[in-house]
Amino acid sequence: MFGTFVKFKLLTKLIAIESRMEDNFSNLNTQISELTCEFKHEINVVKSTLNELENSVNNVWASIENLQQESKALKDSKSTHQKMMDEQTAEIQGLKADLKKLQAENEKLKPGRTLSPLRTTWDEETCVSGISPKVMARTARISSTK
């Protein structure tokens, strides 16, 4: 009888241990499920943040590309204007040289000076007055703009 009582006590303790283990496993499963839900939520938050960062970086790159295009357009415009300015400067220098020639000829034509003989031949670069056709054309352009 004593053996049966010990077996019964052991069986009762084993049943109690089994019941506590089942309760603990049930609690453990519940906690694992809660953690899984929390992790999924945190992962979704991280994904959302990454998407926002990616969009932000894309917007920054788009802005940089726009600024680079604007900068290129400004550089092109600057070089075009510089070229035009250089051409006008060269034309002004040519006109100044032509003006000096005309002033020198005008000095020669003042009363009391002897005139050089007139040219009797024509070539492509010279006309009767000794002024090149290019100079005459520039002078005519300047006169017409005034």
Where residue 134 falls among pLDDT bands split at 50, 70, 90?
Answer: low
Task: Establish if 115 belongs to a structural domain.
Answer: no
Predicted local distance difference test score (pLDDT) of residue 121: 47
Task: Establish if 51 belongs to a structural domain.
Answer: yes
Q: Quick one: the chain helix, strand, coil %, rounded to 5?
A: 85, 0, 15
The residue among 77, 76, 95 whose CA lies nearest residue 87 is 95
Q: Reply yes or no on whether the pLDDT at 120 is more than 50.
A: no
- Give the integer Cα–Cα distance in Å for 83 and 74: 14
Least confident of 30-44, 75-89, 114-128: 114-128
- Do the Cβ atoms of 95 and 138 come closer than 8 Å? yes
Owning domain of residue 20: 2-109+122-145
For the chain, how many structural domains are there in total? 1
Q: Reply yes or no on whether the pLDDT at 109 is more than 70.
A: yes
Task: Establish if 37 belongs to a structural domain.
Answer: yes
Predicted local distance difference test score (pLDDT) of residue 84: 97
Q: At a CB cut-off of 8 Å and minimum separation 6, what does 134 contact?
A: none
Task: Establish if 69 belongs to a structural domain.
Answer: yes
Task: Establish if 114 belongs to a structural domain.
Answer: no
